[in-house]
Amino acid sequence: MLENILSLGFIQAFIELYGAEPAKNQLIIQKTRSEFEGDRTIVMFPFVKVAKRSPEQIAAEIGAKMKQSIDIVENFNVIKGFLNLSVSDHYWLNFFNQNHQNPQFGLKEQTTELPVVVEYSSPNTNKPLHLGHVRNNLLGYSVSEILKANGHKVVKVNLVNDRGIHICKSMLAWQKWGNGRSPENEDIKGDKLVGEMYVRFDKELKLQLAEMPVAGIDEDALLKKAPLMIEAQEMLQKWEAGDPETRLLWKTMNTWVYAGFDETYKRLGVDFDKIYYESQTYLLGKDLVKEGVESGVLFKKEDESVWCDLTADGLDEKLLLRADGTSVYMTQDLGTAELRANEYHPSKLIYVVGNEQNYHFDVLKLVLLKLQREWADAIEHLSYGMVELPQGKMKSREGTVVDADELMDEMVLTAKTMTEELGKSDNLSETEAARLYNQIGMGALKYFILKVDPKKTMMFNPQESVDFNGNTGPFIQYTHARINSLLRRSVEYGTVTTDNSLGKLLPKEKSLVLQLHNFPEILAEAGANRSPALIANYLYDLAKDFNQFYQEIPILKEEDATKLNFRLLLCTFTQQVLKSASALLGMEMPEKM
């Protein structure tokens, strides 16, 4: 790699000039900023003390020595304490020739035995998937694919929250107001039907609360006294006791929901290697809690509830088991974590969960460490920001969420409208056009969601995402289709492998080759930072550089055979990297647009 060559050359030059070896951890090589001449920049300030010279003098002396001793360093310039190095076209052409025919360029073969377990989605079976779940699923899937591309063995898992008081609310509402409704007799997705029942429960609960006397009673106490909440809690206790009637209703309604989820997952293009169910894991957590009480790590209060005291760790006391013996989310997460640790012996246990749960995962890791589970150090919370809408936050109980299926319908419809207006689906069959609208709509959605750094809260704007110009999925897809069209027209010219006899690269040719050279580094950085945004914005930069190259450099009209062949191969290489990188985001690249 280029950085290794320059790093070794710098160290050798430094030793020869100043008689001392520079500290490697202080050697910073970065891409030269666009306003300056050069390809790579080395920062000189850390070496002033050893060299006993000013940063500018060190840069000038090191630059001259590196130009003299490293054949790929063509020139250099000094801007204050920064040494800007220009790399010869010979190096870039060698890179091109060695890699342009490699369909796996930038992608690493699996190099690790211990897997990385990535949990994402984790829906509740009391409502359909919504916009927040869309970000979670797309982020979890993309991070998994990026880790695979970096050589990791990855296990994608989903933990379905299929039990608890929220599930009982939907069940109770169906018993009271469902009137025998089912997905079959109403032609409705099962997850949507159950979600309607959840909203109905909340509506009826509010009516109850409005009629209850509130004098001297705080909100939480009032909620516990509401007849509907008492019934829901009783249903939960029946479920945990294995009551046949309650279990049958639970199983029936969950089956409806799973069928609905599967449709949405398939359309989103996400999948899982294994699905866990809270109903099958929460008892494992209870065993861990019992072990903690017996060892003195956890303690019981007078009402028999079980807690972990984390005050010495800067947190508070955390409830792990309620007074009535029912478990909380933390209980099942303890059990599931141990189950996965024993099952996979993972190098990392990554949880893709919103930043509203930062405290939860801090506690999870701490409790497991206190229970002497050394593997708990492998737990990593991939915390991401919420998705907001112009009208504010979404609320499932009130039914003010953006339904994932409806969102995808809207994206495809918007893509269809804009594509037809621009004439990009002309001359396509009905089947081809329908597939194109889906590719564009879903590509727009995925790119818009994933181009934002996971840690940031984002504002979702469907109309803005389906734009054929700017930093959008359709712009990148159109670039891929443009290259395809060019290559189809180029068949009569033929292509052969070029060599270094090409000579000097034109600025736009070099810029595109440099951008392709960056892909492995960007991919490694995206894996280390768990950030699909780095891949997304790299795709935009690559597409932008290609379009500038396409606009300014003659390709099919080039009369020089060597230049023509090189440019066609450069187009092919770019197309391949666009496709490889976009696949990491789950985006499909259309052949025609």
Which CATH number applies to 117-388: 3.40.50.620, 3.50.50.60, 3.65.10.10, 3.40.50.720?
Answer: 3.40.50.620
User: Quick one: pLDDT at residue 500?
Assistant: 46
pLDDT class for 105, splitting at 50, 70, 90?
very high
Rounded Cα gap, residues 275 and 162, in angstroms:
12
Encoded tokens for 36: 């300056």
Rounded average pLDDT over 492-498: 53
Rounded Cα gap, residues 325 and 566, in angstroms:
71
pLDDT tens-digit profile of 139-148? 999 999 999 9
In sequence order, the 6+-apart residues with CB closer than 8 A to the CB of 83 are 41, 42, 44, 59, 62, 63, 76
Q: Which residue has the higher pLDDT, 191 or 400?
A: 191
What is the greatest pairwise CA distance in the chain?
Answer: 90
User: Quick one: pLDDT at residue 394?
Assistant: 43
User: Quick one: pLDDT at residue 391?
Assistant: 58
How far from 198 is each of 185, 203, 238, 256, 589, CA to CA, in Å?
Answer: 19, 9, 19, 14, 39
- Please say if the pLDDT value at position 283 is more than 90: no
Q: Which residue has the higher pLDDT, 390 or 341?
A: 341
In angstroms, the first-to-last Cα distance of the chain is 36
Burial (CB < 10 A; 0-12, 13-18, 19+), residue 149, is: buried
- The superfamily (CATH) of domain 2-87 is Arginyl tRNA synthetase N-terminal domain (3.30.1360.70)
Q: Exposure string (b/e) for 161-187, b if CB count within 10 Å is 16 or more? A: bbbbebbbbbbbbbeeebeeeebeeee
Compute CA 26 distance to the chain's CA centroid, rounded to the nearest angstrom.
Answer: 31
Across all residues in the chain, what is the average pLDDT?
Answer: 92
Percent of the chain with pLDDT over 70: 96
In sequence order, the 6+-apart residues with CB closer than 8 A to the CB of 553 are 506, 508, 509, 567
User: Quick one: pLDDT at residue 197?
Assistant: 96
Give 26's DSSP letter.
G
pLDDT tens-digit profile of 515-546? 999 999 999 999 999 999 999 999 999 999 99
- Please say if the pLDDT value at position 132 is more than 60: yes
Q: Which secondary structure element, helix H or strand E, spans residue 127, and what is its range?
A: none
Tell me whether strands 29-31 and 348-354 are parallel, antiparallel or unpaired. unpaired
Rounded Cα gap, residues 281 and 157, in angstroms:
14
Which CATH number applies to 404-583: 1.10.730.10, 1.10.260.40, 3.60.40.10, 2.40.30.10?
Answer: 1.10.730.10
Sorted by where each begins, the domain ranges of the chain are 2-87, 117-388, 404-583
How far from 20 is each of 44, 105, 176, 187, CA to CA, in Å?
Answer: 15, 38, 82, 78
pLDDT class for 104, splitting at 50, 70, 90?
very high
pTM of the shown model: 0.91
pLDDT tens-digit profile of 506-518? 999 999 999 999 9
Instruction: Output the CA torsion sign for 62, 67, 69, 71.
Output: positive
Rounded average pLDDT over 337-348: 96
pLDDT tens-digit profile of 416-469? 998 898 888 888 899 999 999 999 999 999 999 999 999 999 988 777 777 778
pLDDT tens-digit profile of 361-378? 999 999 999 999 999 999
User: Quick one: pLDDT at residue 473?
Assistant: 95
Rounded Cα gap, residues 117 and 156, in angstroms:
6
